[in-house]
Amino acid sequence: MAAKYGDPYRSQARYFIASNRLAVDRQKAVGELAELGSSSVPEVVALSKFALAQTKESDGKLDEAAQIYGELARLNSSTISPDTANLRLAKIYEKQGKKKEAADLLFNVVDASRKAKGADNQPAPVSAAAREAADELKKLDPERHAQLPPEAPPSLLG
């Protein structure tokens, strides 16, 4: 596919090849994922950056992982949501001992999620990342968690 077709199929195939290569040739896969981070296909950019950040995180390169998760959050992609990227970034901060930064990021994710409205001006459904961020914040900083606006009643979420 990568050799026969143009984008988006070429970039998608290259992403799958690189992500699967992580198990057999990590260094080459990391280079390919980094290169795909500047693809012309937005979905491939988001997926490649996320895989690269996860790889850096598992390799203990927390500063590099944090930088990539931050970039990913700023992309505002629907493929990897800012909530998901910020949740991972907060977990990096926690590993680095930056508890305040982690708590601030988690608080902001949950706060925005609980205040979000849908097109019908009803509370928007809470993402899995925002629910996990709330759980993480409760463990990390219970006092800060208590400052969050209340969750919308389940009956309003349809």
Express each pLDDT in 6-44 by its tens digit. Answer: 889 999 999 999 999 999 999 999 999 999 999 999 999
Overall average pLDDT of the 62-80 stretch:
97
Q: Is the peptide bond before 8 cis (omega within 30 degrees of 0)?
A: yes
Give the 3-state secondary structure of residue 77: coil
pLDDT band (50, 70, 90) for residue 158: very low
- How do residues 93-120 score in pLDDT, each as one tens digit? 999 999 999 999 999 999 999 999 888 8
> Is the per-residue pLDDT at 155 higher than 70?
no
Overall average pLDDT of the 48-74 stretch:
98
For the CA atoms of the chain, what is the radius of gyration? 18
* 22-59 exposure pattern, b = at least 16 Cβ within 10 A, e = fewer: beeeeeebbebbeebbebebebbbbbbbbbbbbbbbee
Residues 6 or more apart whose Cβ sits within 8 Å of residue 127: 81, 83, 84, 113
The domain locations on the chain are 1-59, 81-158
